[in-house]
Amino acid sequence: MSPEYIRVPDEMLVGGKWRQADGPTTQVLNPATGQVLQTVSQSSADDVDEAVARGAEAANDPAWRDLLPHQRARYLHAIADAIDAGAERLATLQTFNTGKTLHETRGLVASAAATFRYFAAVLETSDEAMTTSRGDYCTWVKHEAIGVVGAIAPWNSPVASDAQKIAPALAAGNAVILKPAEWTPLVSLALARLIMDAGLPAGLLSVLPGRGSVVGDAIVRHPGVGKVSFTGGTSTGRGIAHLAAEKLMPVSLELGGKSPTVVLEDADIDQAVAGVMYGIFSSSGQSCIAGSRLFVAESIYDDFLDRLVECTRALPVGDGFDSASRVGPLVHPKHRDGVAAYVDLAREEGGRIRCGGSAPDDPELADGSYYLPTIIDGLPNDARVCQEEIFGPVLVVLPFRDEDDLVAQANDSVYGLAAGVWTRDYRRALRLADRIEAGNVWINTYKVFSISTPFGGVKESGLGTEKGREGIAAYSRVKSVYLGMSAEPNPWAGVPRA
> Are the C-beta atoms of 359 and 392 separated by less than 8 Å?
no
Distances from the Cα of 38 to the Cα of 3, 110, 211, 251, 440, angstroms = 9, 25, 17, 33, 38
Pick between residue 213 and residue 486 the one whose CB is nearest to ligand NAP: 213
> Are the C-beta atoms of 157 and 59 separated by less than 8 Å?
no
Torsion sign over Cα 63, 67, 70, 75: positive
Distance CA 469, CA 451 (A): 9
> Are the C-beta atoms of 178 and 15 separated by less than 8 Å?
no
Distance CA 53, CA 21 (A): 17
Distance CA 35, CA 27 (A): 9
Helices (H), 314-440: 333-348, 384-387, 403-411, 426-435
Choosing from 104, 182, 254, 389, the catalytic residue is 254
Distance CA 496, CA 487 (A): 13
Paired with 176 in beta bridges are 149, 205
Active site residue 254: yes
Torsion of CA 419, 425, 428, 434, to 10 degrees: 40
- Kindly report the backbone phi and psi dihedral angles of residue 289, in degrees, each rounded to the nearest multiple of 5, phi listed first: -100, 15
Count other Cβ atoms within 10 Å, centred on residue 270: 10
Collapsed DSSP state (helix, strand, coil) of residue 297: strand
Smallest distance from the beta carbon of 35 to ligand NAP, in angstroms?
A: 20
Smallest distance from the beta carbon of 295 to ligand NAP, in angstroms?
A: 20
Distance CA 69, CA 171 (A): 8
Smallest distance from the beta carbon of 359 to ligand NAP, in angstroms?
A: 20
Pick between residue 226 and residue 256 the one whose CB is nearest to ligand NAP: 256
Half-sphere exposure of 182 (CA within 13 A, CB side): 17
Pick between residue 318 and residue 439 the one whose CB is nearest to ligand NAP: 439
Contact residues: ligand NAP, CB under 6 A: 152-156, 179, 181-182, 211-213, 216-217, 220, 231-233, 236, 239-240, 254-257, 288, 389, 391, 417, 457, 462
Distance CA 150, CA 62 (A): 22
- Which are the catalytic amino acids? 254
